[in-house]
Amino acid sequence: MARNLITDVAGIRVGHADDAKLGSGSTAIIFDTPAVAAADVRGGGPGTRESALLDPAMTVERIDAITLSGGSAFGLDAASGVQAWLREQGRGFRIREATVPIVPGAVLFDLLNGGDKSWDRYPPYRELGYQAAAQASADFALGSVGGGFGATTVDLKGGAGSASATTSEGITVGAIALVNAVGSAVIGGGPHFWAAPVERGGEFGGRGQPATVSPQTLIPRFKGQPGENTTLVLVATDATLTKAQTRRLAIMAQDGMARALRPIHTPLDGDIVFAAATCARPFADPIYGMATLGTLAADVVARAIARGVYEARALPFAGSLPSWKDKFGK
């Protein structure tokens, strides 16, 4: 865990761009060389771009970047900005003399968080996507940044989180999450995180688990209306995976959402996990290696989600939800 970020997987860079007045932003994850990718959608209201080509039956095997953005359907434009930056670098899928950068993406809803969304003819997300790609690096901020700038949960400010881990055979797995959940990342309003059992090194406050969890805290609480909520995740590894194995990684990593958020995968949200493999390290044993990797990936996703809430800052608008640190950080 050199950084405890998804960029501990070599060959991955992350960039954020956001606008405080807008109350929103975009995040770009750039692969230095094309990565095998897949996705698993469990939420009932997803907003995605290029997700169909990630099916293992589809022709394109590898992608150049992934974009995670605020802005609901307007935020899908962010992928066009990332695509434009990649085209300037000569990156993309070659079809004779044509080159087309492949940039799947997904969005979360932050249109009612108090920011000024009265843009002119075109929304600002294409430019935010370009800026995020141009700023991508191995070190990046967490919390209220990029696509997580305007994210919220039912009871606390949400945001961008990341974490990483390494298997016993030296394969690295990392995750980045934008937490705009319909439910909560904390038990009974806090300070304890649902993800506490998998926390490492006090990365989200080190509060551990409460002595008891009352029946009252298990009653589901929901934020907003259908379409207003989504947690977006990318889990990445340097393992050598096929497209089908990468899909299995996404499926197993979904368990991390269930470990970190309650409720999850409802008709009210568009929760999605992308998975990507840079294919730098083969497994010693493909079956047990894959099982181990997927299990660790779920833990890393849970940790990234908790860190996204832990590191967030409250939005500077009237009536905004408090951050975890506002309530429990002193």
pLDDT of residue 293: 98
User: pTM for the whole thing?
Assistant: 0.96
Lookup: tokens for 301: 């996703």
Domains and CATH numbers, the chain: 6-324 (3.60.70.12)
Rounded CA separation 60/55 (Å):
9
The amino acid occupying position 197 is: P
Within 8 A by CB and 6+ apart from 283, the residues are: 169, 171, 239, 240, 289, 290, 293
DSSP string for 131-152? HHHHT-BS----BS-GGGTT-B
Q: What is residue 223's predicted lDDT score, i.e. its pLDDT?
A: 87
With beta carbons less than 8 A apart as the criterion, state whether 104 and 50 touch: yes
Centre a 10 Å sphere on the Cβ of residue 7 and count the other Cβ atoms it contains.
Answer: 23
Bridge partners of residue 40, in order along the sequence: 273
SS3 of residue 7 by DSSP: helix
Opening angle at CA 152, ends 148 and 156, nearest 5:
125
Which of 279, 276, 274 has the alpha carbon at shortest distance from 239?
Answer: 279
Helix then strand then coil, % of the chain, to nearest 5: 30, 30, 45
Per-residue pLDDT tens digits of the chain, which is 330 residues long:
589 999 999 999 999 999 999 999 999 999 999 999 999 998 888 999 999 999 999 999 999 999 999 999 999 999 999 999 999 999 999 989 999 999 999 999 999 999 999 999 999 999 999 999 999 999 999 999 999 999 999 999 999 999 999 999 999 999 999 999 999 999 999 899 999 999 999 999 999 999 889 888 888 888 887 777 899 999 999 999 999 999 999 999 999 999 999 999 988 888 999 999 999 999 999 899 999 999 999 999 999 999 999 999 999 998 899 999 999 987
CA angle 203, 21, 150 (to 5 degrees): 35
Rounded to whole angstroms, how far apart are CA atoms 35 and 93? 12
Residue with tokens 């990797």: 293
CA dihedral 84, 177, 182, 150 (to 10 degrees): -60
Neighbours of 106 (CB within 10 A): 31
pLDDT score at 1: 54
Whats the size of the chain, residue-wise? 330
pLDDT for 269 equals 85
Q: Where are the alpha helices (DSSP H) in the chain?
A: 78-88, 125-134, 243-260, 286-310, 324-328
- Map residue 2 onto helix, strand or coil: coil
Count CA within 13 A, CB hemisphere, residue 120: 0
Nearest 5 degrees, angle CA 91-CA 40-CA 248?
Answer: 90
- 317: closest CA among 110, 73, 70? 110
